[in-house]
Amino acid sequence: MNISMDVGIWIAAALTLFIFSFLYRDNPLYKFAEHLFVGVSAGFVVVQQFWQVLWPNLIQPAVTKGTPEVWKFYLGGLLCVLLFTRLFQGISWMSRYTIAALIGTFAGLKVTGFAQAEVVEQVRATMVPLWTGDLGSSINNIILVVGVITTLVFFFFSKEHKGAIGATARVGIWYLMVSFGAAYGFTVMSRISLLIGRLMFLLDEWLGIVRF
């Protein structure tokens, strides 16, 4: 055992244990850590946005002499300032222009991004031969094509799920259930990994019992 002598490690370990104490029941130590976490996170994000985004991408070029097309930084700055009018009743309507520019940009990016990557490419990748000359890969391709079509039919709500559509949608549900099951299995893996990470910290960096 080679316990840490670093104050920072001790504070980190204490905060870790404060949060774990919630598993026993809600208590003041947990509440303290919870509020400290929100405060530290919010403070961290503001400082980071300033030094890593607003400073290099807006303020620094706007105040530096000789920046080409400096007007675009002024206009960008104006859009940012308008956003803050949301805090003041009476002039909050001004923020609409910033929101409009932002929403328009994101809508445009999403439309083309989804069309290309999620629709065109995915449909193309589903256009596979149902007989490849090899039984195994042919069955896999059939499973894929049937799964994509039946899942899409399940999400088709403009027509009542009865008769042939109902039966197809039923198969789609089975596919979805398999998919949700796999997702659940992976979610368990993720959550357990996070716990492993914290216990590794306590055993290694704090208590020095095992080195990872």
Partner 1 sequence: MAFGDTLEKLDRRWIFLLVALLVLIPLLRPLRLPLAVSGPARNFYEAVEAVPEGSIVVLAGDFDPASAPELVPMTKSVVRHLFRKNVRIIALQLWEGGPPLVDAILHQVGDELGKTYGVDYVNLGYKSGREAVMPSFGNSFSRTFPNDYSGTAVSKLPLMREADTFAQTALFVNISAGYPGTKEWVQQVQGRFDVRMVSGSTAVQAPEIYPYLQSGQVLGLLGGMAGAAEYEKSIDVPGAATKGMDAQSSAHMFVAFLILLGNAIYFSRRGAARRAS
Partner 2 sequence: MMNLLPVVLTAIVGIVVILSFFVPHPYIAEPAQKLQDWAIVIVASGYVLGAANVYKVNGESAIKRQKDWLYKWVLLGSMSGMMVVGFFFSGGTQFLNEGSPFKWAYDFLYVPMQATMFSLLAFFIASAAFRAFRIRTVDAALLAVAALVVMIGRVPLGNLFTAALPEPIQLPTMANWLLEWPQNAAKRGIAIGAGLGVMATGLRIILGIERSHMREEA
Q: Does 45 bind partner 2 (CB under 8 A)?
A: yes
Site map 56..85 versus partner 2, x via CB under 8 A:
xxx-------------x--xxx-xx--xx-
Q: Contact with partner 2 (CB under 8 A): which of 3, 115, 167, 209?
A: 115
Between 1 and 157, CB nearer to partner 2: 157
Q: Does 24 bind partner 2 (CB under 8 A)?
A: no
- Integer Cα distance of 162 and 185 in angstroms: 32
Q: Does 187 bind partner 1 (CB under 8 A)?
A: yes
Which of partner 1, partner 2, none interacts with 152 (beta carbon under 5 to 8 A by kind)? partner 2
Q: Does 32 bind partner 1 (CB under 8 A)?
A: no
Tell me the HSE value of 134 on the side-chain side, using a 13 A CA sphere.
4
- Integer Cα distance of 200 and 206 in angstroms: 9
Which of partner 2, partner 1, none interacts with 130 (beta carbon under 5 to 8 A by kind)? none
Q: Which stretch binds partner 2 (CB under 8 A): 16-24, 127-135, 159-167?
A: 16-24
Helix axes 7-20, 28-49, angle to 10 degrees: 120
Residues that bind partner 1 (rule: CB under 8 A) add up to a total of 50
First-to-final CA distance of the chain: 14
Nearest Cα neighbor of 145 from 118, 174, 125, 173 is 125
Q: Does 57 bind partner 1 (CB under 8 A)?
A: yes
CB 13, CB 199: distance < 8 Å: no
CB 202, CB 13: distance < 8 Å: yes
Q: Contact with partner 1 (CB under 8 A): which of 122, 134, 137, 173?
A: 122
CB 212, CB 200: distance < 8 Å: yes
- Integer Cα distance of 148 and 37 in angstroms: 43
Residues at the interface with partner 1 (CB under 8 A): 23-24, 41, 44-45, 48-49, 51-53, 55-57, 60-61, 105-106, 109-110, 113-114, 116-118, 121-122, 124-125, 144, 179, 182-183, 186-190, 192-200, 203, 209-210, 212
